[in-house]
Amino acid sequence: MTQTFEGLAIGGKRVAAANGATAPTYNPATGEVLAQVAQASAVDVDQAVRVAHDRFSTGAWKQMRSRERGQILGRIATLIREKSEMLAQIESRDGGKPISAARGEIGAVANTFEYYAGAVNKIHGQTIPGNANGTVMTFREALGVCALIVPWNFPLVIAGWKIAPALAMGNTVIVKPASVTPLSALALADLALEAGLPEGVFNVVTGSGSVAGNALVTHPLVRKISFTGSTEIGVGVMQQAAAGIKRVSLELGGKSANIIFADARLEPCVESSLWSVYDNAGQDCCSRTRFFVERPIFDEFVERFVARTQTMRVGDPNDEKTDMGPLITSQHRDSVVNYLHVGDGEGARRLCGGDIPGGALAAGNYLTPAVYVDVKPEMRIMREEIFGPVVCIMPFDGEEEAVRFANDTPYGLSGSLWTRDIGRALRVARAVETGMLSINSSSSVHIEAPFGGMKQSGLGREQGMTALEHYSEYKSVFIAND
Ligand code: NAP
């Protein structure tokens, strides 16, 4: 990929930042600069918000027939599929993802737009008989300008989860991608225009969270903020949104449990558990980073899991056979390595991994996957989100202890449990405090179903028809009989 200049996407045009600021975006596998990207200041954000507000107020999008809105969203899905290799290459190079995984993610983004293309004309209010004097009708109305703030771990997938339902409801949007993965959102904005989306309905401001993100969150014309990122930044976003009574949804961090009972089918469990924690090099909010294994099978599980971990192919994302690419930045790898020092210092036993490969991989931010045993619930590596390929495995005795261990965290995003006893599976699934849980599986994402967290993992839900509620408001209209 040659180094290009990538401007902000405002009002259907690509423009430089008003002050001309740019910053490079890098390939985490090689350190190569991929593009110089415009860095929005508060002035650019204000311009983007005013354009989006104007487009919302003039109604070109929200007043379009719902069927036509759906057709445009459907054309976006089609174009994503047609350009999927180009988008997958961008996502792989900007985010260090194995190309095979990046292709899968682009397919998922197309599915998201397709789902909401079909949902557009199935959103309606109710007719509510009030009293003898009349009836209430409810309308589901768009909110206005929505600020969509996206992290770097699944840049286009998560952007799609926000953009598609927001547009389906008739809102206008401004996307703020993470500074280190800005390219795919810009490419999507170009495709949306090609699909016939009116100019200024979907805008992208690239730049830092502290400047561009903050300007969006505090802008008086922004009605809704949908934020995905760390719990720490999410707290600040929510506090700032409070000043303007802005609607907020938050998808935040996680420290999810993987509970394995002694009657689990071990082979599929080991394989699936492996991907549940090492997918995307462990940079996944739904990562099952705390494994609780019932004592009778603890040793056998650990032996098999470590053996399989050591066969994970860490390497060039462009190689179709690569399982794990680099971490997103060298600073982030330093933070993960620091957790390994903390874990070692706390007395946990590292059975494998945590090595920085040399040779051909020395220029990238690579790290081999690490497994800890002899961990205790109070250790930092058991409590804090490491966001890298690091797993802690602990034994448990009985159902009650498994649930207690799983719930011993401020987070509540995802998780898995493995058993052949359906009664126990349902009891434990009901008792674990988490937004999503998979039984005999590690799958967390189903575009048709609500996705989101309990406790400090967030507020609100993405995906499914539920997401549309977060991008609309009810209006009740009373009609008198006489
Ligand atoms: P992050 O540092 O919180 O950043 C997320 C986004 O917020 C980025 O676009 C960032 O911009 C922006 N931002 C930073 N400071 C801001 C501010 N003051 N105001 C407004 N926006 C601001 O998170 P990350 O490191 O990108 O992503 C990793 C985290 O996301 C992990 O904790 C992970 O668990 C969580 N996550 C959660 C989910 C979920 O669905 N629950 C999904 C994926 C990831 P910059 O890039 O410029 O800093």
Q: Hey, where are the domains in the chain?
A: 4-252+458-478, 257-445
CATH T-level assignment (fold) for domain 257-445: Aldehyde Dehydrogenase; Chain A, domain 2 (3.40.309)
Per-residue pLDDT tens over the stretch 334-393: 999 999 999 999 999 999 999 999 999 999 999 999 999 999 999 999 999 999 999 999
Looking at the CA of residue 232, tell me the nearest atom of ligand 1. 3
DSSP, residue by residue, 395-451:
EE-HHHHHHHHHH-SS--S-EEEE-S-HHHHHHHHHHS--S--EESS-----TTS-B
Q: Is the C-beta atom of 214 inside 6 A of ligand 1?
A: yes
Give per-residue pLDDT as tens, 63-101.
999 999 999 999 999 999 999 999 999 999 999 999 999
- For residues 224 and 49, what is the distance between their CA atoms, to the nearest angstrom? 12
For the stretch 180-203, pLDDT in tens is 999 999 999 999 999 999 999 999
How many other CB atoms are found less than 10 A from the CB of residue 111?
18
Quickly count: other Cβ atoms within 10 Å of residue 404's Cβ.
Answer: 14
Query: Is residue 211 predicted with pLDDT exceeding 80?
Result: yes
| Residues ≥6 apart with Cβ < 8 Å to 426 | none
- State yes or no: is 392 an active-site residue: no
Cα(396)–Cα(300) distance, rounded to whole angstroms? 14
- Residue 414 C-alpha to ligand 1 middle, in angstroms? 18
For residue 197, the 8-state DSSP code is P
210 lines ligand 1 (CB under 6 A): yes
Average pLDDT, the chain: 97
Is residue 102 predicted with pLDDT exceeding 60? yes
Nearest atom of ligand 1 to the alpha carbon of 231: 32
* Cβ of residue 466 lying under 6 Å from some atom of ligand 1: no
Average pLDDT over residues 259-280: 98
For residue 215, pLDDT beyond 90: yes
Catalytic residue among 269, 285, 286, 392: 285
pLDDT reading at 2 higher than 70: no
pLDDT-derived band at 129 (thresholds 50, 70, 90) equals: confident
Q: How confident is the model at residue 397 (pLDDT cuts 50, 70, 90)?
A: very high
Tens of pLDDT, residues 430-479? 999 999 999 999 999 999 999 999 999 999 999 999 999 999 999 999 99
Q: Give the distance, in angstroms, between the CA of residue 442 and the centroid of all CA atoms in the same chain.
A: 16
Query: In a 10 Å sphere around its CB, with 0-12 CB exposed, 13-18 middle and 19+ buried, how is residue 301 labelled?
Result: buried
Confidence of residue 3 (pLDDT cuts 50, 70, 90): low
Domain over 4-252+458-478 is classified CATH 3.40.605.10: yes
Cβ of 453 less than 6 Å from ligand 1: yes
CA distance 120 to 115: 9
- Exposure on the CB side of residue 149, measured as CA atoms within 13 A: 31
Helical segments of 123-248, H only: 155-168, 183-194, 214-218, 231-243
**How far away, in angstroms, is 228 Cα from ligand 1 center?**
6
Kindly report, residue by residue over 314-337, the tens digit of the pLDDT.
Answer: 999 999 999 999 999 999 999 999
Q: Is the beta carbon of 150 within 6 A of some atom in ligand 1?
A: yes
Question: What is the predicted pLDDT for the residue at 482?
Answer: 79
The pLDDT tens digits of the residues spanning 149-164 come to 999 999 999 999 999 9
CA distances from 460 to 58, 119, 268, 466 (A): 29, 19, 32, 9
Q: Is the pLDDT of residue 1 over 60?
A: no
What is the reported pLDDT for 250?
A: 98
CA 350 – ligand 1 centroid, Å: 29
